[in-house]
A and B are shown apart, each in its own frame.
Chain A
Amino acid sequence: NAGVMQNPRHLVRRRGQEARLRCSPMKGHSHVYWYRQLPEEGLKFMVYLQKENIIDESGMPKERFSAEFPKEGPSILRIQQVVRGDSAAYFCASSPQGGREKLFFGSGTQLSVL
């Protein structure tokens, strides 16, 4: 049973470009969470999704960031018009059900904005 798969592992973008980060949850998991780890800071919650639904996006920046988890395919975190401050490690986690259970994390995508 493969773990949470994130790709790419490393992504380099120039300012103003778009970044698309992908996350495939563990088999049987229908709940996906995105977290961001800025340099020298702890991981911070961004968004919680179930298939085709955004449950909680309270941690998402108001502009340029969006997330989806379609019926088929991976969850996508999209950052439009990236700026240097978006450089961070983005982690995806999944769980079989929402709530009081372990989250399983992927290896993350390191985004570098030049």
Chain B
Amino acid sequence: KQEVTQIPAALSVPEGENLVLNCSFTDSAIYNLQWFRQDPGKGLTSLLLIQSSQREQTSGRLNASLDKSSGRSTLYIAASQPGDSATYLCAPNSGGSNYKLTFGKGTLLTVNP
């Protein structure tokens, strides 16, 4: 059974700081891993999708890495902004299924102006 842990549970940083969010998962037999952000009262927005054959993906100020063998992924946010404040969720798909995502509880990020 896939289990996902995200550390830290909450993070507060001043604007402009670079930061790293960590995700670990127990079943390394994944097809891909997605990072989402969730804003209060809203749905999830997909940020990055990394296929199992990839090591990293970049989109703007975001960079996600994947080390499948060790069951780890990181999301790096450069030059953080107050608009980045949200809950960030890591979701690998469950072993044996290429569509069933297992979510962590997320990291609540607050970027202070």
Please give the residue numbers on chain A whose beta carbons come within 8 Å of chain B beta carbons, in ascending order.
Answer: 4, 6, 31, 33, 35, 40-45, 48, 56, 58-59, 91, 93, 95, 98-108
Cβ–Cβ < 8 Å partners of B31 in chain A:
99-100
Contact (Cβ within 8 A) B43 A105: yes
Contact (Cβ within 8 A) A42 B4: yes
Q: How far is the CA of A40 from the CA of B106 in the complex (A)?
A: 10
The 8 Å CB contact of B100, one of A31, A45, A106, is A45
Contact (Cβ within 8 A) A56 B42: no
> Is B51 part of the contact surface with A, judged by Cβ < 8 Å?
yes
For the complex of A and B, the 10 pairs showing the least CB-CB separation, nearest first, are A42-B103, A105-B44, A107-B43, A43-B103, A105-B43, A99-B98, A102-B46, A42-B105, A45-B100, A102-B49
Min CB–CB distance A56 → chain B (angstroms): 7
Q: How far is the CA of A58 from the CA of B91 in the complex (A)?
A: 18
Cβ–Cβ < 8 Å partners of B89 in chain A:
42-43
Interface centre among B4, B34, B43, B102 (most CB of A within 10 A): B43
Q: How far is the CA of A111 from the CA of B42 in the complex (A)?
A: 14
Q: How far is the CA of A104 from the CA of B105 in the complex (A)?
A: 19
Cβ–Cβ < 8 Å partners of B100 in chain A:
45, 48, 56, 58-59
| Chain B contacts with A in 65-111, Cβ cutoff 8 A | 89, 91, 93-94, 97-106
Min CB–CB distance B51 → chain A (angstroms): 6
Cβ–Cβ < 8 Å partners of B22 in chain A:
none
Contact (Cβ within 8 A) A104 B46: yes
Contact (Cβ within 8 A) B43 A42: no
Given A42-B104, A93-B44, A104-B46: 5 more A-B contacts, CB < 8 Å: A42-B105, A43-B101, A91-B43, A103-B46, A108-B43
Known contacts A42-B106, A99-B31; is-contact A33 B99 (Cβ 8 Å): yes
Cβ–Cβ < 8 Å partners of A108 in chain B:
42-43
